Amino acid sequence: MNEIQKIIKDGDKYHRTGRLPLLAAEALVEENKLDDVGGSLSIGLADKIEFRLYAHVTPIVRGSPAAKMTFNGIDLHDEVGLVGHHMVAINGIA
């Protein structure tokens, strides 16, 4: 059974089953099967009016609400941290 079939049947390593295209792309990046992505995902949504970029959100521990947010491969908590007394805010997709 290939990775996408496993995700359809059982979910990913965090047991997520929604957003199959996102989960499949995550699995391919994690396995280093997409050399041209640079090891991280950039997520965007477009409609007739605009194009919006989103942070990539993944669980830190399965079943826990804590999540890791990266934007174009940059971990917003570990690499950016606080700007003054403020946390970087961006919409994210899990």
Q: Say yes or no: 31 and 50 in one domain.
A: no
Amino acid at 75: D
Indicate whether 44 pLDDT > 90.
Answer: no
Structural domain boundaries, residue 5: 1-39
Please report the pLDDT score of residue 32 as a whole number. Answer: 66
Q: Say yes or no: 35 and 77 in one domain.
A: no
Q: Say yes or no: 47 and 88 in one domain.
A: yes
- CB 41, CB 69: distance < 8 Å: no
The β-bridge partners of 70 are 56, 75
Q: Say yes or no: 31 and 48 in one domain.
A: no
In this structure, what DSSP letter does residue 51 have?
E
- Average pLDDT of the chain is 78
Pairing label, strands 51-59, 92-93: parallel
Please report the pLDDT score of residue 48 as a whole number. Answer: 93
| Cα–Cα distance measured from residue 40 to residue 9, given in angstroms and rounded to the nearest whole number | 25
Greatest Cα pair distance, the chain, in angstroms, is: 49
Amino acid at 1: M
